[in-house]
Chains A and B, each alone.
Chain A
Amino acid sequence: EPEVTQTPSHQVTQMGQEVILRCVPISNHLYFYWYRQILGQKVEFLVSFYNNEISEKSEIFDDQFSVERPDGSNFTLKIRSTKLEDSAMYFCASSEGGVGNTEAFFGQGTRLTVV
Chain B
Amino acid sequence: GENVEQHPSTLSVQEGDSAVIKCTYSDSASNYFPWYKQELGKGPQLIIDIRSNVGEKKDQRIAVTLNKTAKHFSLHITETQPEDSAVYFCAAGSGYSTLTFGKGTMLLVSP
B-binding residues in A (CB < 8 A):
4, 31, 33, 41-45, 48, 50, 55-56, 58, 91, 97-101, 103-109
Contact present for A41 and B97 (CB under 8 Å) = no
In the assembled complex, which residues on chain B have CB atoms less than 8 Å from the CB atom of A105? Answer: 46
Q: B101 interface residue, CB < 8 Å from A?
A: yes
Among B12-20, B76-84, B88-96, the stretch that binds chain A is: B88-96
**CA–CA, A99 and B41, complex, Å:** 24
24 CB contacts below 8 A, A to B, read A4-B43, A31-B96, A42-B89, A42-B102, A42-B103, A42-B104, A43-B91, A44-B101, A45-B98, A56-B97, A91-B44, A98-B96, A99-B32, A99-B93, A99-B97, A99-B98, A99-B99, A100-B95, A100-B96, A101-B32, A104-B34, A106-B45, A107-B43, A108-B43
Closest 4 CB pairs of A and B: A98-B96, A106-B43, A100-B95, A100-B32
- Residues of B within 8 A of A (CB-CB), count: 26
> B34, B89, B99, B103: which has the most chain A beta carbons within 10 Å?
B99
Q: Given A41-B103, A106-B43 in contact, is the A99-B96 Cβ separation under 8 Å?
A: yes
- Complex-state Cα separation, A34 to B38, whole angstroms: 17
CB of A84 to closest CB in B, whole Å: 22
* B103 (CB) vs chain A CBs: closest residue: A42
8 Å CB contact of A45 from B36, B45, B100 = B100
